């Protein structure tokens, strides 16, 4: 199938070239009539042929032209020609996307080969430009420590086979710094409009690799970050806390964080949320092979109307992006909860957290922030359940027992889980 540049990009270029043409004509040419000047606005795709014919005749649409005017025209034609082939991709493909997780994996029972690939970066995918201005994430000079590599190797070795099948096929694994937009790391799918357009990247925070905390500690920390709890306002703030058996399992906790970021990558790779043809990712990725996201996630828990008005390719941590929960018993505004944190009105916050878990629609409070986090968190807890087959993933929230492993089989969550299966996220081969 022939490749061509995106319609939106070409339309912008047409306008830019027409504008420059107009400026050049005002300076260099003498028009006989306004209508003759307007004839210059011809399709840019035929620019080369049209220009060559014009040069031979030394006239364009009956407009006498000075020789010096040819110089900006030839320059523009060359610039457009070079841009047209610089990063070709199929515009608005109609077939389901082909996964970027390609190739074969080496035998790596203890995860050392996986860990050796890790390198440091300070890259932020949210700032990634497109086209020729795009720069992919790259390794930087600071080394990944031996201890960090040992933790990464253990994470890989404890991963279910379907997660290993993706981890070993990452274009690059990074260790990065913690940041407000991605406290534990990030996952990034490189679209065709970001050449070479075949990368899948995952980064995990060095702070997480160096820390020692339980899964419950990690969940409480995420809630604090969502609510805007800081060292300055934490003292005396009696927020509802998840508690587990108290045993700190660093590897399992970081595996949860790696799985969450992988969930974001998988969603983009499959264009899972791209059923709507106006989704910005549909410009470079075909329709998803299943429409189950619309039913299992949006239909079960979210306002589809608001989601479709606010679709996006990159999602920062801690932003609802105007999405709204459909269950009135669970619905909340994150900004209002943050305001309650600042005014130390914890009752409304604790009730909101309790409502989320009581609903059995979400595996965590973070999952109820927006539909993308819902997918990533659901995938995360499926990984945790499969990584600990002989032990339930469960917590206590004040006087309430929360068995996440059993909740995955509840009506709404079971439907979301089936959607992950429909996309092949829980199968060994990408």
The reported pLDDT for the residue numbered 246 is: 65
Three-state secondary structure call for residue 402: strand
Tens of pLDDT, residues 360-404: 999 999 999 999 999 999 999 999 999 999 888 899 998 889 999
Tens of pLDDT, residues 149-191: 999 999 999 999 999 999 999 999 999 998 877 889 999 999 9
- Cα–Cα nearest to 216, from 238, 249, 239, 262: 249
Q: What is the pTM of this model?
A: 0.81
The mean predicted confidence, pLDDT, of the chain is: 84
| Res. 269 pLDDT band, cuts 50 70 90 | very high
Q: What are phi and psi of 361, to 5 degrees?
A: -95, -20
- Cα–Cα nearest to 301, from 239, 342, 213, 360: 360
**Count of beta carbons in the 10 Å neighbourhood of residue 153:** 20
- Cα–Cα nearest to 121, from 167, 196, 194, 179: 179
pLDDT value at 272 more than 90: yes
Please give the C-alpha separations between residue 245 and each of 41, 185, 213, 388, in angstroms, as whole numbers.
Answer: 72, 26, 12, 15
């Amino acid at each position: 199938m022939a490749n061509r540049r995106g319609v939106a990009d070409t339309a912008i270029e047409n306008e830019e070239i027409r504008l420059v043409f107009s400026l050049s004509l005002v300076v260099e040419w003498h028009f006989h009539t306004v209508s003759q000047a307007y004839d210059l606005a011809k399709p840019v795709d035929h620019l080369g042929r049209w220009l060559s014919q014009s040069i031979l005749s030394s006239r364009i649409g009956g407009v006498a032209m000075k020789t010096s005017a040819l110089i900006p025209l030839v320059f523009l034609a060359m610039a457009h020609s070079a841009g047209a082939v610089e990063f070709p991709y199929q515009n608005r493909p109609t077939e389901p996307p082909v996964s970027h997780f390609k190739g074969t994996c080496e035998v790596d029972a203890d995860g050392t080969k996986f860990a050796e690939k890790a390198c440091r970066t300070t890259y932020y995918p949210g700032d990634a430009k497109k086209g020729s201005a795009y720069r992919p994430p790259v390794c930087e000079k600071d080394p990944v420590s031996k201890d960090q590599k040992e933790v990464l190797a253990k994470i890989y070795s404890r991963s279910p086979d379907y997660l290993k099948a993706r981890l070993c096929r990452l274009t690059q694994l990074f260790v990065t710094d913690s940041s407000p937009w991605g406290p534990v790391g990030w996952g990034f799918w490189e679209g065709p409009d970001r050449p070479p357009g075949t990368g899948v990247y995952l980064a995990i925070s060095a702070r997480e690799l160096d820390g020692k905390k339980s899964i419950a500690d990690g969940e409480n920390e995420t809630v604090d970050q969502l609510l805007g709890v800081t060292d300055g306002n934490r003292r005396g703030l009696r927020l509802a806390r998840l508690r587990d058996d108290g045993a700190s399992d660093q590897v399992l906790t970081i595996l949860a964080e790696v799985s969450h970021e992988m969930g974001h990558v998988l969603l983009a790779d499959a264009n899972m949320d791209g059923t709507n043809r106006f989704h910005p990712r549909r410009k470079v990725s075909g329709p998803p092979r299943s429409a189950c996201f619309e039913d299992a996630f949006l239909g079960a828990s979210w306002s589809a109307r608001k989601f479709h008005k606010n679709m996006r390719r990159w999602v920062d941590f801690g932003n609802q992006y105007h999405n709204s929960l459909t269950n009135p018993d669970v619905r909340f505004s994150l900004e209002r909860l943050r305001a309650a944190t600042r005014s130390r009105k914890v009752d409304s916050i604790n009730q909101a957290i309790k409502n989320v878990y009581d609903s059995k629609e979400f595996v965590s409070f973070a999952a109820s922030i927006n539909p993308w986090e819902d997918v990533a968190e659901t995938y995360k807890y499926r990984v945790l359940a499969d990584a600990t087959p002989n032990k339930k993933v469960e917590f206590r929230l004040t006087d309430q027992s929360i068995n996440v492993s059993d909740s995955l089989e509840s009506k709404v969550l079971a439907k979301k889980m089936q959607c992950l299966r429909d996309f092949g996220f829980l199968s060994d081969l990408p």
